[in-house]
Chains A and B, each alone.
Chain A
Amino acid sequence: MSEKAILLAGFLTVALGTAIAQTQRFNLGRPATPEEIRKRDISVAPDGTGLPSGHGSVKDGRYIYNALCANCHGGHGQGSGEYPPLVGGQGTLKSKQPVLTVGSYWPYATTLWDYTRRAMPYQRPGTLSPDETYAVTAFILYMNRIVDQNTVLDEKSLPKIKMPNRDGFVSDPRPDVHGPNGIGSPQVVLFQLSMDGLQVTHTTVLTSIQEQKACFEFSILPKSLTEPFA
């Protein structure tokens, strides 16, 4: 490429960048209405955000479980063949043969509710109503002795349940094991996205392993990430 062509290419890039920055948006697609969002949004956060109103009892859950779940997961949640156990194993995580189930391993009751509504029963996912999902969740937690037999779960009580392994997870400490040539110094680049355009720029380069760990420790991440937006 000649020097003139390189200069021209550089000029065009700058001009295009300016054009995008000025128009700021492409204006493609169409606005989503609140109703369209409501129909598709099934997300549930561990603090209960997104849980639909409804309720379900251990008693109703037993009925639904026996009809829809027991065939694969067993009458007592013990699992069978390729289908994982849902019950048992509390206190075994430090042992040589831990039993990892919803009761012994899963950190949030909302995760159980969310996964049940998304993906179960396996052959007909998405068919359980919110009330049925509360009921099945209550029964699985009852089988794990996390709630008692008179429990009725709803959008307020579900996120308050403290699962036995709630504090059993740690953030990623890697690179923790490495070969003879070294452990390296991973870099994490943070970006700044302006509120109304494509101004994506590097803001921070984290070079130490400690900084990288902090970045992905999500108790810290939201603050460090939202600073550029303030």
Chain B
Amino acid sequence: MKPRQITRRAFLASSAAVTAASATSAQVPRDLGAPRRGYGERSPYEKSVRYFRDSPTPGTGASRTPLQDLYGIITPSALHFERHHAGVPQIDPRQHELLIHGLVERPVLLRMKDVRRFPGTSQIHFIECAGNTGSDHAGKPGADPQRSHGLLSCSEWTGVPLKILLAEAGLKKKAAWLLAEGADASRLARSLPLSKALDDVLVAYGQNGEALRPEQGYPLRLVVPGWEGNINIKWLGRIQVTDQPYMTRDEAASYTDLMPNGKARWFTFVMEAKSVITRPAGGQILEGPGFYDITGLAWSGRGAIRRVEVSTDEGKSWQDAGLSAPVLPKAVTRFSLPWRWDGGQTNLQSRCTDDTGYTQPTREELIAVRGTIPGPDGFNHYNGIKIWYVHGDGSVTHE
């Protein structure tokens, strides 16, 4: 009771002060703000959400990141795109163990508290679904950045380099691949060549400064920098070191690319350099002629972005956009270019070059080689230049 009396007394005193002040400057009383809270939420005025369609099988499918609403390079964890094949498991981290076995000297079981005791590191990397921008490949371009490119997100991931865990188990001479398996209901599994496993792969428990979100693999996932999303196994429960790829469905049927000659490409791991203007972009309206800061994202699974060029005149000329620091390998890079819109009809395009010297191609260049016939799960690994059309009334559209 005592604290409340004190508060009431303090309130009466401040009311008297307000009354006294009002006599001279007629101020309107201001409401007190909200109290403290344990876990923060965004402003109720911020409404941006992931996009997905209802389905008879809600446990399988994807939701898309609202790229047009993001600032900087980090995707808020709550807006990271989702792709699940058998729902999001609820895993008690005290019960979760990672088994490492197969062609190793010392098969080992690691609890989460063991995993966190190994030397850790944090790395900023994008994860992009192999099927991102597949509708653009199909000639049915996404209407806004979320619908066209929203199977892309970028986070700071914290965890243990996989090579440290493999060294702990000790590799046998015949070791050449490993099979990583999730603890989701469908035990999703993918084969990963050891050359990548010993390079930059992370066994991650942290995302953007806190534990992974359940939809991102809580409590443990693989982060395979620059490679297609599906191989970044979530809810990681088992790593089996092998001498061959095991030809799981998601590498020997799905996520393959059917070519016009009837042959299909498989083990197309790397997500090639790609970029998209996120503002101004499809679904947005320019308020009138004048200044606009064109901004967007560029990324490459092979390394760092070295250059982004933007055309504001339907591809007739290209200008170098500015790259905002940090420019990191296998992470998204924020670019921008100041632009004065004259009110006329035009289109906006971006193309990026990575530090291997590879430049993003046009859709026409891509389909001339790869064709327009979808594989078993649509189009994968498309990275063509995205075009946004600006109309005289200020509307921006995708076609």
Contacts and interface: CB of A to CB of B under 8 A. Distances in A.
Interface in A154-205: 168-191, 193, 195-198, 200
A225 B357 contact: no
A176 B369 contact: yes
A41 B361 contact: no
Interface in B91-124: 99-101, 105-111, 114, 117-118
Contacts of B375: 100
Contacts of B199: 189, 191
Contacts of B272: 174-175
Contact of B166 (A45, A84, A193): A193
Nearest to B356: A184
Contacts of A176: 369-370
Nearest to A97: B373
Given A30-B109, A111-B252, A125-B86, A225 B359 contact: no
A61 B33 CA distance: 66
B374 to A, nearest CB: 8
A94 interface: yes
A211 interface: no
A31 to B, nearest CB: 6
Given A93-B258, A100-B375, A171 B106 contact: no
B21 interface: no
Interface in B149-169: 163-164, 166-168
Chain B CB count within 10 A is highest, among A43, A110, A196, A225, for A43
A193 B195 CA distance: 10
Given A105-B253, A178-B361, A182-B358, A28 B114 contact: yes
Contacts of B238: 40-41
A128 B370 CA distance: 39
Chain A CB count within 10 A is highest, among B55, B166, B360, for B360
Contact of B247 (A28, A97, A110, A193): A110
B123 to A, nearest CB: 16
A183 B358 contact: yes
B213 interface: no
A100 B177 CA distance: 28
Given A45-B244, A106-B252, A96 B117 contact: no
Interface string A78-106: 00011010000000011011101010011
Which label, helix, strand, loop or mixed, suits the secondary structure of the A interface?
Answer: loop
Given A179-B361, A181-B359, A36 B99 contact: yes
B187 A42 contact: yes
B362 interface: yes
B101 A222 contact: no
Interface stretch (B217-225, B262-270, B391-399): B262-270
Interface stretch (A7-15, A115-123, A129-137, A141-149): A115-123
B265 A173 contact: yes
A184 B176 contact: no
B195 A190 contact: yes
B359 A200 contact: no
Interface string B180-214: 01000111110001110011000000000000000
Given A36-B99, A171-B266, A177 B117 contact: no
Contacts of A181: 307, 353, 357, 359
Nearest to B263: A170
A109 B244 CA distance: 16
A230 B107 contact: no
Contacts, number: 247
Interface in A207-230: 215-216, 218, 221-222, 225-226, 229-230
B99 A37 contact: yes
B50 interface: no
B195 A94 contact: no
The 8 closest A-B pairs by CB, nearest first: A184-B358, A179-B359, A94-B262, A184-B357, A119-B186, A184-B356, A222-B176, A181-B359
B186 A118 contact: yes
A225 B197 CA distance: 12
Contacts of B185: 119, 125-126
Nearest to B242: A45
Contact of B264 (A108, A169, A189): A169
A185 B357 contact: yes
Contact of A29 (B111, B357, B360): B111
B105 to A, nearest CB: 7
Nearest to A190: B195
A20 B318 CA distance: 51
Given A31-B107, A46-B247, A174 B101 contact: no
A78 to B, nearest CB: 15
A230 B307 CA distance: 42
B9 interface: no
A1 interface: no
A118 B247 CA distance: 13
